[in-house]
Amino acid sequence: MQPAQDQQYSLKHADDNITETTSGKKTIEVSESTFLSPDYDENFSTRGLAILVQNFDPGCPHIEKLNSQCNELMELLQSYEYGLEIFGNQIHENLTKDDLYTLCSSVAKEIDNNEYNYYYCLLFVILGRGSSGIIKCKTDTGNTEYAELSKIMEFFQPQNCAALALKPKVFIVQTMEPKDPNQADDVCTCMRDYTKERKQQRIPRESDFLTYTSDEPCYLSENKFLNSIVKTLEDEQKTWSTQSRRMNPIPVTEIQSLLIKININLKETYSKVPYTTSSLTRKMYLQKRTF
């Protein structure tokens, strides 16, 4: 995978195409109205592609409840109101670092090589142990290794996945050490040592990325971060369903507004508000608008 390079844009006449050239290798053509629009282009057959990763240890306490919440999240995203396609139609569980990078590579290649299914957006959800910017993974031999969020995002930059250029790419990530009285004390020490030794990785700042990350420790019996996401999505779904019966056009929710509502839910439970880093250049909506 090549390192990120500057993106170049060239603008033609009003009725012509705009050509975006990335690192001299790939060319993407979009209309001028799309390029200059305050909103992301919604004229796609599929609302979006979601990738769900649950990387908690399968032997940890309360894993069944966590799996149930993850399944609820997947069903919500697949519902009529949200209409996202789930990659592999499954939640990817307990991945090694290589498995996680291979998954990202497969997703990027499928998007880039598919001539017929074009997506409005990419949503990548990772729930697991770790620290800010790093995801803890188990090896096949039972050892520990760490995947970098910055490297995961690299797969979906325009120079590596041209089909996602000028499209919103949202990463919702929980990386923390569970609060567990039975947890060994050396786990956090190992994490601190890795964080200290690793080279600092800059999260990509290319346009059209949004990251929403939480590294607050929590009890897995009550994962407030995941609970708040599911609750907020359910509330929005109910609002759309109720108001659509008497309103036209149907109301929709912009992604930043949704994250604020999740933050409010977390604040009400005395939880740490997640970090948001956004380089989105347009408004992104969770539901296709009727206006």
Q: Looking at residue 78, which CATH number applies to its domain?
A: 3.40.50.1460
What's the pLDDT tens digit per position in 50-108? 999 999 888 777 888 889 999 999 999 998 778 899 999 999 999 999 999 999 999 99
Residue 57 domain-assigned?
yes
Stated pTM of the model: 0.81
Beta bridge partners of 171: 124, 211
- What residues make up the domain containing 42? 38-177+204-279
Q: Does residue 16 belong to any structural domain of this protein?
A: no
- The one-character DSSP state at 203 is P
Confidence at residue 248, expressed as pLDDT on a 0 to 100 scale: 52
What number is the average pLDDT over the span 206-219? Answer: 86
In a domain, 127, yes or no: yes
192 domain-assigned: no
Contacts of 171 (CB under 8 A, 6+ apart): 124, 125, 126, 149, 152, 153, 209, 210, 211, 212, 213
**Torsion of the alpha carbons at 214, 220, 225 and 228, rounded to the nearest 10:** 180
SS3 content of the chain, % helix, strand, coil (to 5): 35, 25, 40
Residue 13 is predicted with a pLDDT of 31
Scored b (16 or more CB within 10 A) or e, 121-132 reads: bbbbbbbbbbbe
Mean pLDDT along residues 134-162: 90
Q: Is the pLDDT score of 17 beyond 50?
A: no
Query: Given this model, what pLDDT does residue 44 score?
Result: 82
Q: Identify which of 202, 206, 209, 204 has the alpha carbon closest to the alpha carbon of residue 278.
A: 209
pLDDT of residue 16: 40
Q: Kind and range of the H or E element at 262?
A: helix 255-268
Is 90 inside a domain boundary? yes
Let me know if residue 108 belongs to a domain: yes
Half-sphere exposure of 29 (CA within 13 A, CB side): 4
Q: What is the pLDDT of residue 47?
A: 86
- The answer to the question of residue 31 being in a domain is no
Look at residue 244 in the predicted model and tell me its pLDDT.
55
For the chain, how many structural domains are there in total? 1
pLDDT at 10 over 50: no
Residue 42 inside a domain? The answer is yes
Nearest to 180 by CA among 71, 63, 52: 63
- Can you count the helices (H) and strands (E) in the chain? 7, 13
pLDDT digits (tens, 9 = 90+) for 240-284: 766 655 555 556 788 999 999 999 999 998 898 999 999 999 999
